[in-house]
Amino acid sequence: MITGILGKKLGMTRFFREDGEAVPVTVLQAGPCVVVQRKSATGDGYEAAQLALVESKPRRHATKAIQGHFSKAGLAPMRFVREVRLLEGGGDTKAGDSIKADLFQANDLVNVTGVSKGHGFAGFVKRHHFRGGAATHGSMFHRAPGSIGASSYPSRVWKGERMAGRMGAARATVRNLEIVQVDAEKNLLLVKGAVPGPQGGYLVIEKVS
């Protein structure tokens, strides 16, 4: 059984439940996807399916290696390709199979993985939520980090110290999000809460096992 699908983030809105509760939701385009390659425990050491997201515009400038890989499944090269897990042997999943949003149902829980928004070089306060110093009484210590190491031992800065640097543009996963509504005809999912990435960003949506 296949456990996930590829998609895009379309934006956020709100959804009203039957009891009138307003729920903030993210609208996701979930598929359609096609299976490019089937991974097996005997041949590859694990069970998975390599999926490609079908888009209106074809991929351009694909290398010969990528063209050959897709041609084995009788498909044209596509931009976004990822692997998702298969459970219990994966059933009869094979190259060329179509995966759509009807894989999910309302109230299912999913993990959504994407690339977070990039913020460039950010300081301590924005990147790590440091409080900063006093803003009055001639402080002169406002958005500075304070001490980043010890004076005598070990007399160096520890690896992983929270400092200014590149913020965002990294792989991020939000877990256990509730699917509020499924529109199988339009391949849309309404997921409670926010997901990583900008509008139009690629996502991997997987069921919580």
Q: Where exactly are the structural domains of the chain?
A: 4-117+171-207, 119-167
Inform me whether the pLDDT recorded for 90 exceeds 60.
no
User: For tokens 């999000």, what's the residue?
Assistant: 177
3-state secondary structure of 69: helix
Of 51, 34, 30, which Cα lies nearest the Cα of 102? 30
Inform me whether the pLDDT recorded for 51 exceeds 80.
yes
Top-level class of domain 4-117+171-207: mainly beta
Inform me whether the pLDDT recorded for 88 exceeds 90.
no
How confident is the model over 184-206, as a mean pLDDT? 94
Question: Contact, 125 vs 143, CB < 8 A?
Answer: yes
Inform me whether the pLDDT recorded for 49 exceeds 60.
yes
Average pLDDT of the chain is 90
Give the pLDDT of residue 89: 55
Neighbours of 199 (CB within 10 A): 12
Give the pLDDT of residue 91: 67
Give the pLDDT of residue 80: 92
Query: pTM for the whole thing?
Result: 0.83
Q: Is the dihedral of CA 191, 193, 196, 200 positive or negative?
A: positive
